[in-house]
Structure 1
Amino acid sequence: MTVRPAALVVAPGRGSYGKDELGSLARAGVDLSAYDAIRAAAGKPSLTDLDGADRFSPGVHLAGENAAPLIYAASMADLAAIDRDRIDVVAVTGNSMGWYTALAAAGAVSVEQGFRVADAMGVNSGRHGPGGQLVLGLGDEDWRPVPGLRDVVLALADQTGMAISIDLGGTLVLAGGEDAVKAFAAASPVPTTRLAGHGPFHTALMADSSAAAMAQLPADGFGNPAVPLIDGTGRVWQRWASPAEALWRYTFEAQILTTYDFARAVQVAVREFAPDQIILLGPGDGLGGAIAQALIGIGWLGIASKADFAARQKAAPFLISMARPDQRKLVTR
């Protein structure tokens, strides 16, 4: 009897469907009819038309109401392409908006309900007070933490009214009101980049988004995951032992209003389930560096630097990015 390698599946978040991904759903022959019907009923442009556009338009394709469903459809298509006869998916997690994909990937919601959640939250994510996000690095060129830098950054964030939106380990995404964003950027000890079109996600300023989600998306659409699910606090939602209402409440309260600690989610997942590989769903593979830095943060498999990670990937890839054809073939039929 052949033992299947155990895999942790990771779903990417907002920003992963970019110019290079335009047309990728059509090229892969993804059946979008069910998703298009849901969009049509709500008077929204179809994913077929969005993906099939002549050119990539940041104002259209990066807008939350279109980006979220495009990303969800691409990620779920990749999930379906994994050869389960060869791969044993033992746990699932995601980054930020990727949590909605992870819910469906783990079986806590149906595929269509997961799309409804992602589609609705693409709109609801625009309901917030004024503000935005800044991204900055905490590591050196070899992805190792710069001693003391995190403490300095967090002290400044506290002084200026910013909060950690997403913790990617070697990279932080901070969020806050407009004045806080400007004050932090002006005084930051390291370069910052403002994420265009992004609100103060994963902070209390998203209260209107949370309220809208809870009113629009009832708990009866949720159930127990069939595969363990790791959330943005590092909590493991075990299969057949996770109250549906609690999972629903986390999704539309804490997940929206508090820090999404993606690095911790990855670290908990590898420690708890010891996967033989991590499979990063598409679209894109921009999350690969963050996953590597999360592994470096705990020295997983002896990986202590970017060089260590690169050497491991060359010898026998631990991180499989489905957006890379040479790696994709390792886990698909």
Structure 2
Amino acid sequence: MKQTAVIVCPGRGGYNKPELGSITERHLPKQSDLINQLDKVRENEGFISVSELDQKSKFDHRLHLKPENSAALIFAAGYADFKAVDPEQYDIVAVTGNSMGWYTALACAGVWQPENAMSIVTDMAKRTAAADGAQLIYPIMNEQWQPDKTREKAVSQMLEQHAGELFLSIRYGGYVLLAGTQNAVTTASKALEPVDNRFPMILPGHAAFHSPLMKEASDQALSVWDSSHFRQPELPLIDGRGVIWEPPGCHLDALQRYTFGHQVTEYYDYTKAITVALREFAPDKLLLLGPGNSLGGATGQSLVAANWRNLSSKDDFTQRQESEEAPVISLGL
């Protein structure tokens, strides 16, 4: 029996050393036409092709994590995973994503053709990476994925103390990402209580994504990528505010303004997007696109936060995932 599913697209940071070769391994030769199309776009615009990057013998941090390369790899892997979903097994009822995953979601929903999406993804990666500032990630949950009020309060205090320089960037399951000036992010990273000898973690190579420091990149994108590059989605889209864009009545000018305006300069609420997906579409499964499984933890935490089907802790989620009723499927694995 066919199951309903919401497609979830990963953001920055999905393609790392363990994912090297994954596009070739998972999607060739079945999707060679798609990969060739994306490679031609890259080559015509003067960039190294996705295939050449994916087929390198060794992972090169400077090459593979260069924003315009990393974004292209993440988009290509995710979109290829989407095209490989068996329509006889799953009825796709909506699409959402995290951060840069909004661009992949637009392509999956048919708003952009994959070739156009690759051009936009590459361009936006360059524009936003060139902006000022930094970004850090910090957990606001305990070990069982329940809210930690002390950490939440500490984050709120940091935002108040550095108002105008430090901003909420992404709500990501049991984590928050903060973005701002280099000084504000560094100060916050020293002030927040350490967790697990890992957090707070300043994310290498990240600018102040999803914050007002992205305004110049946003203004440039709004002028370059006008609404003529958009068309009506074929599937409902859930954006980073939890707003649903329902076909066929989407106002394309508004979709363009959100995509290159609010989505770039304001915080992205991945937790809310997942909550809306669950409550408005009640899918049997959430299908997480690759590469890898970067969305797995935050998605599970979002289910627990929503108390989805009585999931109230990490142990609940883990037990459910090990059953036939597993709500989350990571296609990248």
The equivalent of 1:14 in structure 2 is: 12
Match of 2:191 among 187, 194, 198: 187
| Cα offset, 1:215, TM superposition | 2.5
Q: Quick one: distance in 2 between partners of 1:288 and 1:296? A: 13
The equivalent of 1:107 in structure 2 is: 110
- Alignment of structure 1 residues 225-240 onto 2, 5 Å: 225-240=233-248
Q: Deviations over 1:192-251 (max 9, x none)?
A: 001000000000101121122122222111012111100001000001011111111100
The equivalent of 1:153 in structure 2 is: 155
SS at match of 2:129: coil
The equivalent of 2:94 in structure 1 is: 91
The equivalent of 2:168 in structure 1 is: 164
The residue type equivalent to 1:256 in the other structure is V
The residue type equivalent to 2:330 in the other structure is S
| Cα offset, 1:183, TM superposition | 1.5
The residue type equivalent to 2:313 in the other structure is S
Matched-pair contact (CA < 8 Å) for 1:104–1:114: yes
- Alignment of structure 1 residues 200-211 onto 2, 5 Å: 200-211=208-219
The residue type equivalent to 2:327 in the other structure is F
Q: Quick one: distance in 2 between partners of 1:156 and 1:48? A: 43
| Cα offset, 1:126, TM superposition | 1.8
SS at match of 2:169: strand
The equivalent of 2:259 in structure 1 is: 251
The residue type equivalent to 1:21 in the other structure is E
SS at match of 1:33: helix
The equivalent of 1:322 in structure 2 is: 331
Q: Quick one: distance in 1 between partners of 2:158 and 2:126? A: 32
Match of 2:139 among 137, 141, 152: 137
| Cα offset, 1:152, TM superposition | 2.5
The residue type equivalent to 2:47 in the other structure is K
Q: Quick one: distance in 2 between partners of 1:72 and 1:182? A: 30
Matched-pair contact (CA < 8 Å) for 2:9–2:96: yes
| Cα offset, 1:147, TM superposition | 2.6
Matched, 1:198 2:206: yes
The equivalent of 2:279 in structure 1 is: 271
SS at match of 1:315: coil
Match of 2:119 among 106, 116, 139: 116
The residue type equivalent to 2:77 in the other structure is A
Matched-pair contact (CA < 8 Å) for 1:21–1:283: yes
| Cα offset, 1:7, TM superposition | 0.3
SS at match of 1:125: helix
Q: Deviations over 1:44-66 (max 9, x none)?
A: 11111111112101111111110
Matched-pair contact (CA < 8 Å) for 2:140–2:149: no
Q: CA RMSD in A?
A: 1.2
Match of 1:34 among 26, 32, 37: 37
| Cα offset, 1:148, TM superposition | 4.0
Matched-pair contact (CA < 8 Å) for 2:139–2:151: no
| Cα offset, 1:158, TM superposition | 2.1
The residue type equivalent to 1:293 in the other structure is Q
Deviates more, 1:104-113 or 1:7-16: 104-113
Match of 2:131 among 123, 128, 131: 128
Matched-pair contact (CA < 8 Å) for 2:173–2:300: no
Gaps in structure 1 of 5+ consecutive residues: 325-333
| Cα offset, 1:303, TM superposition | 0.5
The residue type equivalent to 1:260 in the other structure is Y
Q: Quick one: distance in 1 between partners of 2:251 and 2:49? A: 34
Matched, 1:72 2:80: no
Matched-pair contact (CA < 8 Å) for 1:282–1:322: yes
